[in-house]
Each structure stands twice: as C-alpha cells, then as structure tokens.
C-alpha cells in the first residue's frame, strides 16, 4: 500500500496532498514514516502521540527530531474535525456537532455513567436505511465517513473534555455496516492495545440488519468487537414498516446472523429494542421476542422511544415498558432498560444536526 497519497475509503473528499494520519493503523503509520525516509520507530512514535496522548500538533511531539516534525507538518494532517456546536444535558450527557473538512456535519454523543464514558459515534453523514423512528433517516445519505473521521470523533471528544473514553458504540448517525471498510478499520484502530487501546468488549457495532455484512464482520480476521442488532419489532409486518431494510433481510435471517455471531465469536450479542408506544410494545410482542431469541446468547436492551415534535411514533407508557421487561426477565433473559438520557437536549439521533440546518 502506498501511503503518501492514500485512498482508504474512496468516497469522502480529503486534503489534496496531505496524508490524514488519524485512521491509519499502527502498521500503516510505520509504513508512512518509512515511505518518507524515516526510521520505522517514527511510526510508533506517531501512534503514541496521536492515539495515546491525543496530540493534535506535530510541534508538541517533543521526542521526534525537529526536522522530522516539520516534514510531518508539510505532508500530513492529524485532526480534521472542528466543533460547531455543543449541548449539555443536566444528566451529564454531552452532544457535539462536528464539522468535517467539507463542511458537512455529524453528531457525537458522550454518555457518562459512573466511571464509564461511552461515546456514540457516527459513521455516515445522514443514512440510507430509512428507519421510520429516526430523524437521521429523513436527511438521506450524503456520504460515508472515512475511518479517520470516525476515530477523530473520539480523539476530539477526549481533547475537549480531558476525559478518556472507556466505551465506543457505533450507534450515531448512519448504518455502520453500510460503510463497512471504514468501520472495520476504525474498530481496528480503536482496539489496538498499543494505540487507543479500548477493550474489544467495549466497542460495539450496531446494525439495523444488513445481514450479509454481519456475516462478513463475523469472519473478518483481526477485528475484535461486540455486535448489537437493532431489532425493534417481532413480526415482519411491523418491522417492514418500521425498518424498511427488513423487506430485504427479514427477522429470521437477522436473528440467524446474531446466532452465528454468538456461536462463531463465542460471545453474547446485544439486541436493541426501541419500544414504540402501541406499535411493538405489547405483551404479545414480549412473548414473541422471547421465542425468537430462544437459540441466541444475547442481552436485551429496551429503549423507550423518546418522542420529539413531528415524530411518527409515540413514547410507550411506563407500564408497558415494565410489563415488557418483566416478561423477558421471567423467560430468563438479561434485560436492561436504558434510561432516556439527555431529554433536555437534542438527544434523538440526528436532531441537533437538523436543528442547526446541517
Ligand atoms: S436508526 Fe440508524 S440505521 Fe436506521 S435510519 Fe437512523 S441512523 Fe440509519
């Protein structure tokens, strides 16, 4: 691979002649140093400065000879994101609107909980999947993010907050597996022990149900992650309506892919289930869900829908949420009800971007 003018993801525009270093793996940063007539250990130094220390300025890389720092500054860039807006919730949730080099914007949400710092990453500008409960869907797909732009969300939030993230979830704007290569690369960079070093169990890729890509991810060599499937219905009729991707890959195939994940990766998967008032939150749904997942090792996250103005659905009642949870618990499942976080800010996916006019 030639790294002086990389074209890693293809789809996104980038600086004309300077290499974007964020998003390159440790091996690629070493190749980059060597390709520019430096010793291989310069690549490892870049890993440490950029990924471990979060430095965004070559001048601050004090153990690199000045001549090499100046050379890097001529031929490479580090972060390409800038914060356009930030909102803070009274519950500690922080939502960032980042502007990309081409002035398009994406959202990143930081959810603190005890010692845990979970960052919800975006993978695309907009989304093509058309889920009816989702604001991002209304924006359509504008483009994929590069691996660098995905990883950069985490590095930028760490710099802005002074806090180290403990968890990353690919649950922001976009369908991660629709941007497969960039997401795989980002996962590799996030979980590299000698770089950012997130535990693979704490990096969760969530999908709306691109079944063939789930199988590709399961079989991807050297990629460590946890898998979450956003199910949100227990019949194809309802899921076809709520999540149009179901018309191509119905529930049985999706649950089969999750089963393959837990079997082949020897790990528990996660099932995300957004409870939509009166649509998928009935007692019959809870029993059907329990039956559907009978053969799958998984934990279930229930997410009461956060209704916003103009939304297609309503929030479930507290009673419906509790009944649903109790049925699944009685069936022996691990069930968590996610607290609605950031209710007082634009917490729904895609909302902040929409409010600012993107
Ligand atoms: S929920 Fe996710 S996959 Fe579905 S439209 Fe929204 S961003 Fe895309």
335 pairs with which residues across the strands? 300
What is the per-residue pLDDT for 339? 72
Q: Which atom in ligand 1 lies closest to the alpha carbon of residue 174? A: 7
Rounded-to-integer distance, Cα 26 and Cα 43, Å: 7
Q: Which CATH class is domain 82-355?
A: alpha beta
Cα–ligand 1 centroid distance for 144 (angstroms): 13
Per the CB < 8 A criterion, the answer to whether 69 and 42 are in contact is no
Q: Which atom in ligand 1 lies closest to the alpha carbon of residue 208? A: 3
Which candidate in 20, 28, 31, 107 is catalytic? 107
Q: Where are the domains of the chain?
A: 19-77, 82-355
Which residues have C-beta atoms less than 6 Å from ligand 1? 127, 129-131, 134, 136-137, 173-175, 208, 349
Rounded-to-integer distance, Cα 108 and Cα 42, Å: 31
| Token pair listed for 264 | 């082949």
- Is 107 catalytic? The answer is yes
Using the 8-state DSSP alphabet, how is residue 176 labeled? G
Same fold, 19-77 and 82-355: no
Query: What is the number of other CB atoms lying within 10 angstroms of the CB of residue 69?
Result: 17
Closest CA to 50 of 37, 71, 69: 69
Cα–ligand 1 centroid distance for 140 (angstroms): 10
Rounded-to-integer distance, Cα 15 and Cα 297, Å: 45
What is the per-residue pLDDT for 270? 95
- Is 349 catalytic? The answer is yes
Per the CB < 8 A criterion, the answer to whether 221 and 264 are in contact is no
Q: What is the pLDDT along the chain (358 residues), one digit of tens a residue?
A: 333 332 333 344 454 579 999 999 999 999 999 999 999 999 999 999 999 999 999 999 999 999 999 999 999 999 999 999 999 999 899 999 999 999 999 999 999 999 999 999 999 999 999 999 888 898 899 999 999 999 999 999 999 999 999 999 999 999 999 999 999 999 999 999 999 999 999 999 999 999 999 999 999 999 999 999 999 999 999 999 999 999 999 999 999 999 999 999 999 999 999 999 999 999 999 999 999 999 999 999 999 998 877 778 999 999 999 999 999 999 999 999 987 655 555 545 555 555 554 4
Rounded-to-integer distance, Cα 166 and Cα 116, Å: 6
Per the CB < 8 A criterion, the answer to whether 133 and 305 are in contact is yes
Domain at 19-77, CATH from 3.30.360.10, 3.40.190.10, 1.10.1270.20, 1.10.150.530: 1.10.150.530
Which candidate in 127, 134, 298, 349 is catalytic? 349
Rounded-to-integer distance, Cα 144 and Cα 176, Å: 9
Q: Which atom in ligand 1 lies closest to the alpha carbon of residue 137? A: 5
Per the CB < 8 A criterion, the answer to whether 151 and 190 are in contact is yes
Rounded-to-integer distance, Cα 231 and Cα 280, Å: 10
Cα–ligand 1 centroid distance for 305 (angstroms): 14
Cα separations (Å) of 302 from 25, 102, 326, 334?
A: 35, 36, 12, 11
Quick check: helix, strand or coil at residue 168? strand
What is the per-residue pLDDT for 206? 95
What is the per-residue pLDDT for 295? 93
What is the per-residue pLDDT for 344? 59
Rounded to a whole number, what is the distance in angstroms from the first to the last CA of the chain? 35
What is the per-residue pLDDT for 10? 35
Q: What would the DSSP string read from start to end of 19-83?
A: EE-TT--HHHHHHHHHHTT--THHHHHHIIIIIIS----GGG-TTS-HHHHHHHHHHEE----EE
């Amino acid at each position: 691979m030639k790294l002086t003018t990389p074209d890693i993801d293809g789809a996104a525009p980038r600086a004309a002649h300077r290499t974007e270093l964020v998003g390159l793996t440790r091996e690629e940063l070493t190749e980059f140093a060597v390709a520019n007539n430096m010793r291989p250990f310069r690549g490892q130094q870049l890993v440490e400065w950029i990924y471990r220390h979060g430095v965004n300025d070559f001048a601050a890389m004090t153990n690199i000879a000045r001549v090499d720092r100046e050379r890097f500054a001529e031929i490479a860039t580090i972060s390409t994101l800038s914060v356009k807006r930030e909102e803070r919730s009274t519950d500690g949730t922080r939502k960032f609107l980042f502007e990309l080099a081409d002035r398009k914007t994406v959202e990143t949400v930081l959810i603190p909980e005890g010692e845990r710092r979970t960052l919800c990453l975006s993978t695309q500008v907009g989304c093509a999947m058309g889920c009816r409960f989702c604001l991002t869907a209304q924006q359509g797909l504008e483009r994929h993010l590069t691996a660098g732009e995905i990883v950069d969300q985490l590095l930028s939030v760490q710099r802005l907050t002074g806090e180290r993230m403990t968890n990353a979830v690919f649950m922001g704007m976009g369908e991660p597996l629709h941007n497969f290569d960039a997401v795989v690369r980002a996962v590799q960079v996030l979980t590299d022990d000698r770089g950012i070093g997130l535990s693979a169990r704490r990096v969760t890729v969530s999908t709306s149900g691109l079944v063939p890509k789930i199988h590709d991810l399961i079989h991807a060599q050297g990629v460590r992650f946890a898998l979450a499937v956003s199910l949100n219905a227990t019949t194809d009729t309802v899921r076809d309506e709520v999540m149009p991707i179901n018309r191509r890959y119905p529930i049985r195939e999706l649950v089969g892919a999750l089963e393959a994940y837990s079997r082949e990766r020897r790990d528990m998967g996660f099932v995300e289930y957004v409870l939509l008032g009166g649509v998928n939150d009935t007692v019959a749904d809870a029993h059907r869900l329990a039956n559907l997942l009978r053969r799958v090792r998984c934990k279930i996250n229930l997410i009461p829908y956060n209704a916003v103005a103009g939304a297609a659905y309503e929030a479930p009642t507290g009673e419906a949420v509790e009944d649903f949870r109790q049925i699944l618990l009685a069936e022996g499942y691990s069930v968590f009800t996610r607290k609605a976080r950031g209710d007082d800010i634009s917490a729904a996916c895609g909302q902040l971007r929409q409010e600012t006019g993107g």
